[in-house]
Chain A
Amino acid sequence: MSEMRRVTAICNGTAIDHIPSGHALQVLKMLRLNVGRSNPISMVMNVPSGKMGRKDVLKIEDRELNQEELDRLALIAPKASVAIIRNYGVAEKRTIELGSELINIVKCSFSNCITQNNREPLPHKLKVISSEPMEVRCSYCGRNQNVDEMVDYII
C-alpha cells in the first residue's frame, strides 16, 4: 500500500514523492508555489517510508512542473520521485537532476560578494563541486555555501 494514498488523488497535476521528511514547505518555496495565487496543493509530512524512514509528499493540482523547475529541487530533495498525473493516472515519470551549475536559483550567502548588490544584472551562479556530500561554491567569489542554509537564499 503506497503512503501516497494519504493524500487525496488528483485528477491532473504533479505528484512529488520521497521528499526528505520536514522539507515539503521548502520544496514549495523553491518551486515558488508558496506565494500569491497558486493551484490547490495537498501535502503530507513525516509519513513512514520504506526507503527513507520518514518522508514528505506533495501534490500540486492542474500544474505540470517542467524539468527546469524540478531540477531546482536537487538542492534539497535530490532523491524525490516525480509523476505527472493526467486523468488520475501517471502519465510521465520524471527524475530530478543536479546540474553542474545553479544559475539564478540561489544567491551566494557571503556578505561581501559582488552579487550582493542586487542591481548587478549578471545571473547568480553557483558551481556544484560534488553532489555527495553536497558541495556548492559561488562562481564569482569562490566561497563555499552552507548547504543547510541555502534554502534561505533561494531567489
Chain B
Amino acid sequence: MGDLITMDDLTNEEIIQILDAANTLLPIARGEAYLPLLQGKVLGNLFFENSTRTRMSFETAMKRLGGEVLNLSTIGSSVAKGETLYDTMQMVDGYSDIAVIRHPRQGAAQYSADAVNIPILNAGDGAGNHPTQTMLDLFTIREAHGSLEGLNVMMVGDLRYGRTTHSLSHALVRFGAKLTLVSPKSLKMPIEIVSDLKSHGAEINETEEMISSISSADVIYMTRIQKERFPDEDEYNKVADVYKLDASDLVEAKNEMIIMHPLPRVNELHPNVDSTEHAKYFQQAFNGVPTRMALLCRGLGIEVPKKVK
C-alpha cells in the first residue's frame, strides 16, 4: 500500500499532498528543527547499483526524521555470490520497516514489492522508473513557480535514454504542461512516449534547436548525454557537446525561468550559469531530502503535521 514503484501509483491529489508535506518538512531537512517522526523505524537502503546522490539523500532524510538506516553493500556479499533478489528481499523484510531499492534490472522494484510485505520505494530500476526523482523535480518546479499547472517546460539533451525526462514529462502533462523537446535526431524521445503524451492532450514541440525556445520557457531541464549509451566514440562525439547552455544565452529568458539538471553534469551547463538566479540544480539536489522524507512518511503511514515549529 505504501509502495511507490511508478508515478502511476499516485493521483494528482496525492502528488500535491506529498509536495505539501515535503514543504512542511523543509526546516527539518535543513537541520534547523528536529522532528523524530520516524524514530524506531529502520530503512533498508538497497543499492544494487551505485547512485551516491540518491542513496545519501534517502539516508539523510531517514536520519533527520530520527530513523535508522541499513545500507546493503553488494560487494563480496551474498548478492555477489548469486543470491536471488527474492532471497535478499526476504532478509531485508526481516530487518527493516521500509526499503528503497535501486537495481540495474527493470522491474526489480515491482518484483521486490511482490516478494515482501514492507513498503518498497523504487529508486531506479534499469531504464524503467525513478519516481522519487520525479517527485523532487516536481517539488523544485512548484517551489519556484508556486504551482505545477500549465507550465512551459523545455527538456534538452538525451531524451531517448534519459528516464528522468520520460517520467517527468508524463507527470507534467498530467498538470497541463506544454513541452518543448530539444535533442539531436538520434536521441529523440521514443515515439511511444511522445504519442502517449499527446494522447493525454499534451502540446508537444520537438526540435533540434535550443536557443530560440529559451525566451518562452518557464523551466529548462538539461540532461547529460551519456557516453556509455553509444556503441562507439565517433557517434558519441557527434552529439556530445551539441547543447551547451551559457549565461550569455539567457538574456532573453523570463525572470522566473528556472534551469534544472539531475546532475552530474559535463559540458552542457557552463559554470557561469551557476551564479544566475535561474540556476536551481543544486537546490534541486537538496530537494531530494524533504521530498524523500515525505515519501518515507507516506510509505510508513506516518502523518506529517501541517506545521512544524
Does A32 interact with chain B (Cβ within 8 Å)?
Answer: no
Does A134 interact with chain B (Cβ within 8 Å)?
Answer: no
Q: Chain A contact residues: over half helix, strand or loop, or mixed?
A: loop
* Chain B interface category by residue count: 20 to 34
Does A12 interact with chain B (Cβ within 8 Å)?
Answer: no
A104 CB → nearest B CB, Å: 14
Q: For A115, list chain B residues within 8 Å (CB).
A: 107, 111
Q: Are B107 and A114 within 8 A (Cβ)?
A: yes
Q: For B82, list chain A residues within 8 Å (CB).
A: 119
The answer for the CA separation of A120 and B129 in the assembled complex, in Å, is 21
* Given A113-B105, A114-B103, A114-B105, A139 contacting B110 (CB threshold 8 A): yes
Q: For A117, list chain B residues within 8 Å (CB).
A: 84-85, 105
Q: How many A residues have CB within 8 A of the partner chain?
A: 19
Cβ contacts A126-155/B at 8 Å (1 or 0 each): 000000000000111111100000000000
B92 CB → nearest A CB, Å: 15
The answer for the CA separation of A142 and B110 in the assembled complex, in Å, is 9
The answer for the CA separation of A131 and B83 in the assembled complex, in Å, is 37
* Cβ contact of A122, chosen from B103, B111, B125, B129, cutoff 8 A: B111
The answer for the CA separation of A49 and B291 in the assembled complex, in Å, is 62
Q: Are A114 and B106 within 8 A (Cβ)?
A: yes
* Given A122-B114, A139-B110, A112 contacting B126 (CB threshold 8 A): yes
Does A121 interact with chain B (Cβ within 8 Å)?
Answer: yes
**A-contacting residues of B (Cβ < 8 Å)?**
6, 82, 84-86, 103-108, 110-111, 114-115, 125-129, 192
**B-contacting residues of A (Cβ < 8 Å)?**
108, 110, 112-117, 119-122, 138-144
